[in-house]
Structure 1
């Protein structure tokens, strides 16, 4: 098997793209570890109040960090596919036999539509991850708050 066919076979596998997403996500997570540790440290200093608000605030920040990381990783992985789709659309319009001015105008419209669809999907994914991580972090923070406040 030639190296070109081997390369095409490898990139057509869904598991490769899943692994690539996880590698990018882990890299982004490790690079933002200082943010997460500072949020946890801040919560450790402020959870001794009688209010639940430090747990809510800290969990929202943790959810926001994970939501933004997920959107960044998904965009990083999706960028090559977006470029291929955009190039295919513009080349197909160019071969349709229309004038170059028409191709430029329609290419701009297609670019707007592609970017709009991608960002809508990224926001949906980011919001879902934000919500799940914020809820999980809230329960972790609140359980540590309630267990530490019940001790004498």
Structure 2
């Protein structure tokens, strides 16, 4: 005995029921600030004591394990070694890091001083040039405003 078909069965007999989903929301990138632009002349921050240690450790590790190509293995081994060191064993690396930090502070102060001197000079020049920039008019541009645009369509 056959079962009776409902109206919905006959209506969609050849189709699969597919639920439509909404398109995922597009995330907007945060607006970039003017301060985000990096100055290539700015001195780089010094390495911490751990990274000073890793400079030496990488060389030693590479000598012992010449076939290792994985950076993550070296990093994990270095981290484990650093944790196992005592304060006395870490002292030379901390001293090197502090020395680099002192040098960085000196170069950063010189850099900031140079920036402030440069901005003062630009402000003095900027007062004179603002007026001349705003009053520049080109007569050639007036002719282009009244020109008609013609589109050619090929069939």
> Normalising by the residue count of structure 1, what TM-score does the alignment of the two structures yield?
0.32
Which of structures 1 and 2 has the bigger CA Rg?
A: 2
- Structure that is richer in helix per residue: 1
Higher RCO (C-alpha 8 Å, min separation 6) = 1
> Normalising by the residue count of structure 2, what TM-score does the alignment of the two structures yield?
0.32
